[in-house]
Amino acid sequence: MKSKMVLRQLLSLCTFSKTGEFKPGKTIDDMKRRRHDFMQFTNFLCGYILMIDLGANLTWPSPAMPYLTSKNSTIPMSNAQGALLAASTSISGIIGLLLCPLIMDRIGRKYTILVLGLIQLLSKILIYIAYNYTFLFVSRMMLSVGMMGTFAFLPLYIGEIAAENIRGRFLIFDKICANFGSFLTSIAGSFLAYNSMNLVMISIPIIAILHFPLMEETPYYYLMKGREKEAIETLMKLSGENRVEMVRANTERMKNAIREGRDSKKTSVIELFSDRGSRRALMIKMIAEITYIFSGYHAIQTYAQEIFSNSGSSLAPGHSVMIMTGIQIFAGLPSYHVVDRWGRRPTFLLSGVLSALSLAIVGLFFFLKFFLKVDVSFFTWLPLVGLISFTFSCNIGLATIPYVYRGELFSVKVKTVATMFSAIIAAILISIAQISLPLLNDSIGIYSSFWIFASFCLVGSTTVFCIAPETKGKNLEEVIDLLRKK
């Protein structure tokens, strides 16, 4: 009996590698690491649930617009008013992008997320009780302030809390949560009435706020406020260390970073536009962003039900949207392997070419049906297959590389300003793309809209491939040197 207990204890302290090599103590280390990763994950639950809410809100127009523009709507509106309502989230979202930098250094990172969650909750309630177009429009604009604030701020919070070796997976989960929110809205819109769907969506920010007590304030904020003792205690809690000496090096590193950031605030805006490398980085980032936006990704999601209803498929439009958004949850996962194996430029080009091909095929279907009046009853499944292919292709590179470039192309001095500038421009362009799609469909045909999106995918990805340096395997200093060369 005693020998069995000794053997069990020895096994708990050791394991074997894949090659059969004996590694003592590995099991206990793995258990500690998993416990530590789970503890860090709980810090992000509130933000992740708000990202689910963001994805749900972005897809909300897809099931809501067919009802709101119908004769049975309690809030009658024209197609033009519906397009403006769908785009309102991008227009007023600029306020959210500007709000976070103003309050996060005053009330802290933790309470900034709480404020954004409360804005989203209050907006959802107002949308539910809205009784006319103006009321609904203002409520959606208010909602976008919280949405875009969460979108811009949560990665910063994750970056300040998460350990270096696990930061990537937490940022990846951020995007998956947004995709999952889109899927939830598609399900609710397919099986519930308009008011019932809005009532269900109110529960998402409520759940997020209930998880707020699990969050920790970031050590960076404490150090910015001169509260070094609290910063050290937070670092010890996050890392699972019991001795101050084990986190002292990280504390000094953070203090140096804060000091450098304060010294560079006065010159960051000037340097972004005066330095050759920063200007070129901003140009590459914006071209990649414009290619993604005018690929039609956001616009297609916004009007997905209307697009599928035009296909004439026997499958209900709501069910088609469910399939597309459901697959979207996992569509971005391969990109995180391909990007590091092939490089950024080839991945972006491949994604653009495949996306253009998928959109061109969908455009050809609608051209045959509406312009040439060809019988396409045997191919009504083609728009669904084409848009599923587009979703995969776009998530390989067009939808992910712009976020990679945000962290790889800019120096520490200009990164915050460059990110805010590009995010504001992107918000404006997304609203233009969302407004343009129904107007283009009415004026030049839905097939022309898809061919325009395909052209942007092909031209934009080719341009980025030709002008961008390859950042794979290079540190920040090497990338900046490449950008400054003629």
Q: What is the pLDDT of residue 349?
A: 93
Going along the chain from its start, the domains and CATH numbers come out as 27-216 (1.20.1250.20), 269-486 (1.20.1250.20)
Angstrom distance (rounded) from CA 391 to CA 370: 24
Q: What is the pLDDT of residue 320?
A: 80
Q: What is the pLDDT of residue 210?
A: 92
What are the structure tokens assigned to 431, written together?
């609203």
Q: What is the 3-state secondary structure (H, E, C) of the chain?
A: CHHHHHHHHHHHCEEECCCCCEEECHHHHHHHHHHHHHHHHHHCHHHHHHHHHHHHHHHCHHHHHHHHCCCCCCCCCCHHHHHHHHHHHHHHHHHHHHHHHHHHHHHCHHHHHHHHHHHHHHHHHHHHHCCCHHHHHHHHHHHHHHHHHHHHHHHHHHHHHCCCCCHHHHHHHHHHHHHHHHHHHHHHHHHCCHHHHHHHHHHHHHHHHHCHHHCCCCHHHHHHCCCHHHHHHHHHHHHCCCCCHHHHHHHHHHHHHHHHHHHHCCCHHHHHHHCHHHHHHHHHHHHHHHHHHCCCHHHHHHCHHHHHHHHCCCCCHHHHHHHHHHHHHHHCCCHHHHHHHHCHHHHHHHHHHHHHHHHHHHHHHHHHHHHCCCCCHHHCCHHHHHHHHHHHHHHHCCCCHHHHHHHHCCCCCCHHHHHHHHHHHHHHHHHHHHHHHHHHHHHHCHHHHHHHHHHHHHHHHHHHHHHCCCCCCCCHHHHHHHHHCC
Q: What is the pLDDT of residue 31?
A: 57
Q: What is the pLDDT of residue 25?
A: 45
What are the structure tokens assigned to 142, written together?
């208010």
Q: What is the pLDDT of residue 165?
A: 59
Q: What is the pLDDT of residue 227?
A: 83
Angstrom distance (rounded) from CA 218 to CA 72: 50
Q: What is the pLDDT of residue 7?
A: 41
Give backbone dihedrals phi and psi of 189, rounded to 5 degrees, phi first: -70, -25
Q: What is the pLDDT of residue 92?
A: 75
At what angle are helices 109-129 and 45-59 packed, to 10 degrees? 30
pLDDT, averaged in runs of 10, over the chain (486 residues) = 45 40 48 62 83 88 84 83 76 76 82 91 93 90 86 76 64 76 85 89 92 85 82 76 69 71 62 81 91 88 79 76 77 66 86 94 91 84 89 84 74 71 81 80 87 95 91 70 76
